[in-house]
Amino acid sequence: MARPRVLSGIQPTADSFHLGNYLGAVRQWVTLQETHDAFYCVVDLHAITVPTEPDALRRRSRVAAAQLFAAGLDPERSTIFVQSHVREHSELAWILNCLTGMGEAARMTQFKDKSAKFGESAASVGLFTYPILQAADILLYQANRVPVGADQKQHLELTRDLGGRFNHRYGETFTLPEPYILKEVEKITDLQEPTAKMSKSSSSPAGILDVLEQPGPLRKKVMRAVTDTGSEVLFDEENKPGISNLLRIQSALTGTSIPDLVARYEGQGYGTFKKDVAEAVVEAFSPIRERTEKLLSDEKELDRMLAIGAERASAVARETMAQVRDRVGFLPTL
Ligand code: AQP
């Protein structure tokens, strides 16, 4: 039997992924390549929905791809590619745009959050239709599962709605995907603002743990993470969001359950606990940083790996789009 297909994407919007991207997405991508036919992309078309400098985009796209390989994605088993290399993403997005209601698109909360920074009227139409492009990314590959963090749940629902609408209107064409969300790591929060999501673009440097950061600053940030009143290491999201976030991180990185961690640190105060969290983060990130640096030292080879991914992804995308064009009623090209 064919393996179920998985697809996910990550934006090249910073010079490093952060701990939320790593635990909420990338680490699961690595696990899923063992059991799934895996497609993962660096979504550069999504990155330009906010003003982006071309050289920074080029650099960040390579840095993102290198981190994916460095984190353990195997180009033999997974198809790793850059979104803009496969033209069909934009083409399908246009068709899905024409199936989406204005009100439906306006309900997407990520647009509201992200546009708040510029003011809604200054935000681009691309930012507004971002989730529709995301739906195209997923439907194009007939993905069964999409591993994401909790922030993407609403976009996955829209993807299912649009795929279902297309199928209903034009005939069965798309697989409707299920989100794949690991509850324990669905929302890693900012170290300085432990009720907000850790985020490439909205966290302050002190609140964010970057995968490519050196051990020294990583340790400092964990030690300075906002903790809560009291001194007991307890999991209590409401009253101790800072310590609860660190417990979630430590549990995900070491494989020790949260109750076992709470028992281990009983009566020891926050200091010892934070030191251990810092070590676990450094231990997880250092090998990825070193491998990323090595991959980036040979851009030609990295670009070659991405070209292979683009070719494999294009083969699937072309097949889907041939069917879509025909169903919609576009004339064939002779
Ligand atoms: N804090 C988080 N906790 C758990 N998962 C997270 N993800 C992001 N932040 C967290 C997951 O990482 C994947 C890739 O994210 P993205 O690049 O598409 O951008 P995003 O979700 O918008 O993340 P950021 O860091 O906030 O990026 P910017 O600032 O560029 O918008 C997704 O699966 C996401 O769920």
Confidence of residue 202 (pLDDT cuts 50, 70, 90): confident
pLDDT tens for residues 73-92?
999 999 999 999 999 999 99
pLDDT tens for residues 216-227?
999 999 999 998
| Mean pLDDT to the nearest integer, 265-286 | 96
* Nearest CA, atom 14, ligand 1: 10
- 68 alpha carbon – ligand 1 mean position (Å): 14
Q: Is the pLDDT of residue 150 over 90?
A: no
Q: Is 35 exposed, middle or buried (0-12, 13-18, 19+ CB in 10 A)?
A: exposed
| Mean pLDDT to the nearest integer, 194-199 | 93
Name the 3-class secondary structure at 314: helix
Q: Is the CB of 179 within 6 Å of ligand 1?
A: no
Confidence of residue 201 (pLDDT cuts 50, 70, 90): confident
How far, CA to CA in Å, does 119 sit from each of 111, 114, 130, 132, 208?
11, 9, 17, 21, 24
Say if CB 186 and CB 150 are below 8 A apart. Answer: yes
How high is the pLDDT of residue 116?
83
| Mean pLDDT to the nearest integer, 131-139 | 98
Say if CB 274 and CB 222 are below 8 A apart. Answer: yes
| Mean pLDDT to the nearest integer, 48-66 | 97
Which residue in 117, 187, 197, 221 is the catalytic one? 197
| Mean pLDDT to the nearest integer, 201-215 | 92
- 149 alpha carbon – ligand 1 mean position (Å): 7
Q: Is the pLDDT of residue 100 over 90?
A: yes
User: What are the backbone dihedrals phi and psi of residue 294, each rounded to the nearest 5 degrees, phi first?
Assistant: -65, -45
Q: Is the CB of 20 within 6 Å of ligand 1?
A: yes
User: What's the pTM?
Assistant: 0.95
**Tokens at residue 15, please?**
């010079």
Name the 3-class secondary structure at 39: strand
Q: Which amino acid is at 207?
A: G
Closest CA to 45 of 157, 153, 121, 129: 129
- CB proximity list for 254: less than 8 A, separation 6 or greater: 280
pLDDT tens for residues 164-181?
999 999 999 999 999 998
- 327 alpha carbon – ligand 1 mean position (Å): 34
pLDDT mean across residues, the chain = 95
Torsion of CA 201, 63, 178, 149, to 10 degrees: -40
| Mean pLDDT to the nearest integer, 307-331 | 98
**Tokens at residue 3, please?**
């393996």
How high is the pLDDT of residue 287?
98
| Mean pLDDT to the nearest integer, 117-132 | 89
pLDDT tens for residues 241-256?
999 999 999 999 999 9
| Mean pLDDT to the nearest integer, 19-45 | 96
Pick from 7, 15, 21 the residue to mutate for probing ligand 1's pocket: most ligand atoms within 8 Å of its CB.
21
- CB proximity list for 233: less than 8 A, separation 6 or greater: 243, 247, 261, 262, 265, 266, 268, 269, 270, 273
Confidence of residue 112 (pLDDT cuts 50, 70, 90): confident
Q: Is the CB of 199 within 6 Å of ligand 1?
A: yes
How high is the pLDDT of residue 203?
73
Pick from 46, 186, 200 the residue to mutate for probing ligand 1's pocket: most ligand atoms within 8 Å of its CB.
200
- 30 alpha carbon – ligand 1 mean position (Å): 17
| Mean pLDDT to the nearest integer, 130-152 | 95
Q: Is the pLDDT of residue 118 over 90?
A: no
Confidence of residue 2 (pLDDT cuts 50, 70, 90): confident
| Mean pLDDT to the nearest integer, 186-211 | 92
Q: Is the pLDDT of residue 117 over 80?
A: no
Name the 3-class secondary structure at 7: strand
Name the 3-class secondary structure at 10: strand
How high is the pLDDT of residue 73?
98
| Ligand 1 atom nearest residue 46's Cα | 18
How high is the pLDDT of residue 62?
98
- CB proximity list for 207: less than 8 A, separation 6 or greater: 190, 191, 192, 193, 198
Q: Is the CB of 149 within 6 Å of ligand 1?
A: yes
- Respond yes or no: is residue 300 known to be catalytic: no
Confidence of residue 231 (pLDDT cuts 50, 70, 90): confident
| Mean pLDDT to the nearest integer, 94-112 | 95
Q: Is the pLDDT of residue 1 over 80?
A: no
Q: Is the CB of 10 within 6 Å of ligand 1?
A: yes
Q: Is the CB of 187 within 6 Å of ligand 1?
A: yes
Q: Is the CB of 133 within 6 Å of ligand 1?
A: no
* Nearest CA, atom 33, ligand 1: 148
Say if CB 60 and CB 12 are below 8 A apart. Answer: yes
Q: Distance (Å, rounded) from C-alpha 242 to C-alpha 227? A: 5
**Tokens at residue 333, please?**
């090209």
Of residues 181 and 54, more confidently modeled: 54
How high is the pLDDT of residue 119?
79
* Nearest CA, atom 8, ligand 1: 21
Which residue in 114, 187, 221, 274 is the catalytic one? 114
Q: Is the dihedral of CA 159, 164, 167, 173 positive or negative?
A: positive
